[in-house]
Amino acid sequence: MARDKVVSVVFRSISYLLFVIVFIIFAFVIFDGIRFFSFGFFIQFPKDMMTEGGIFPAILGSFYLLFLTLAISIPVGVLTGIFLSEYGDNRIGRLLDIAITSLSGVPSIVFGLFGLALFSITMGLKTSLISGALTLSVMALPIISSATKEALKAIPDVLRESAYALGAKKTEMIFKVILPAAKSRILTAVLIGSGRVMGETAPVLLTAAVFYSTQLPGSIKDPVMTLPTHIYNIVMAYGADAQWMAKGTASVLMIVVLIIYSFAFRLRRKINGN
């Protein structure tokens, strides 16, 4: 018992230490940039070589990219997860499962090169909102499809048997019984995927981003400014007079990602009954 108590104390101490480190990092980034917040910072375009103005096109571009990515990845990811859970007990299903799991470990720059080669060049979409969204959808696919598969497998078989006993077909059982029962877990995965998409830089740099824009994108074939690429551009290409904007942009990005993940973890606690 004494040994178990010591192990428990050690792991608890490590958890507290990690929490403090992560908290300090987030607090430093957020509070270092929040002092530059103003009404104009959120509604103006950048100007005078990024030394004045705001980040309005970067904020809007990030959300444009996020919403278009989710519009593509959610249907594909959910349908893939349904296939793996309900129809994947065969060679094709196992190969698809291995392929999707492997995608989870691929570096983001590789996704960017893939999107550049396929969507931007081969398909002729060039540097555009749709090219970036398609690339990020491929990145989000493993998160959504794997979560959907696990959520459906966690549904008790009694629900499936009850649906069949009432004369439901397999498709009716899936879309009217078990999919609604798993929707909270799937939504949690979507939120986690959204946080990752929101903070990606490399794929967006190669497929969708423009560093400076004086107008908003008029269609999905236009390039966009985003928060991560805006930070990268300022840090790499501009002098000290523009670094305040990078700090402010980083603070905005961290706050948005924190909000997204907070909703995800709150929903997960609700699912677990805590």
- The CATH label, of 3.40.225.10, 3.40.630.30, 1.10.3720.10, 1.10.10.60, for the domain at 52-272 is 1.10.3720.10
Q: Please return the burial class of 4, using the count of CB atoms within 10 Å of its CB with bins 0-12, 13-18 and 19+.
A: exposed
Whether the pLDDT of residue 1 is over 60: the answer is no
- For the stretch 168-225, pLDDT in tens is 888 889 888 898 888 888 888 888 889 888 988 999 999 999 888 878 898 999 999 9
Q: Token digits for 126? A: 């060039």
- For the stretch 60-87, pLDDT in tens is 999 999 999 999 999 999 999 999 998 8
The predicted model scores a pTM of: 0.89
Backbone angles phi, psi at 220, to 5 degrees: -75, -5
CB 103 within 8 A of CB 193: no
Could you say which DSSP state residue 53 is in? E
Whether the pLDDT of residue 7 is over 80: the answer is no
pLDDT-derived band of residue 47, with 50, 70 and 90 as boundaries? confident
Residues 6+ apart with CB under 8 A from 178: 152, 155, 159, 160
Residues 6+ apart with CB under 8 A from 165: none
